């Protein structure tokens, strides 16, 4: 299993609202993808410009197919326009 934590820092309140729309689309479509075990979107209680995705995939291949899909469908480019900095993604290991 592959577990990821991604952090999104939006530029401002307007960008945060647009980013939330994109993340809402992904939280509906992504769990339907092969190999997606978990895909949750969170906002930060203390900072309304921060969002997080915690996702769990069965295999690296499943994750790669997902990453290719969101790139081809333009999600990464759309997100990049709304972000203050690059998406920060960490691969997690359960202990």
Q: What is the CATH number of the domain that holds 20?
A: 3.30.70.100
Helix (H) or strand (E) holding 37: strand 36-43
> What is the end-to-end Cα distance of the chain in Å, rounded?
13
Q: Is the pLDDT of residue 53 over 90?
A: yes
- Whole-model pTM: value is 0.92
State the pLDDT at residue 8.
97
Q: Domain range for residue 60?
A: 2-92
Q: Is the pLDDT of residue 94 over 90?
A: no
Instruction: Please tell me the total count of domains within the chain.
Output: 1
Mutual orientation of helices 75-82 and 13-29 as an angle, nearest 10°?
160
Give yes or no for a contact between 55 and 40, defined as CB atoms under 8 angstroms apart.
yes
Helix (H) or strand (E) holding 46: none
State the pLDDT at residue 43.
96
Q: Please state the rounded mean pLDDT for residues 45-69.
A: 97
Round to whole Å and give the CA distance between 55 and 6: 8
Round to whole Å and give the CA distance between 31 and 78: 20
Q: Is the pLDDT of residue 4 over 90?
A: yes
Q: Please state the rounded mean pLDDT for residues 32-46.
A: 97
Q: Please state the rounded mean pLDDT for residues 25-46.
A: 97
Q: Please state the rounded mean pLDDT for residues 1-25.
A: 97
């Amino acid at each position: 299993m592959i577990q990821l934590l991604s952090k999104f820092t939006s530029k401002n309140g307007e960008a945060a609202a647009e980013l939330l729309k994109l993340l809402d689309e992904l939280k509906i479509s992504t769990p339907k993808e092969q190999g997606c075990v978990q895909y949750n979107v969170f906002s930060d209680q203390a900072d309304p410009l921060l969002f997080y995705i915690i996702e769990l995939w069965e295999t690296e291949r499943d994750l790669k197919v997902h990453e290719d899909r969101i790139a081809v469908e333009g999600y990464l480019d759309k997100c990049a326009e709304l972000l203050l900095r690059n998406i920060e993604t960490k691969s997690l290991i359960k202990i």
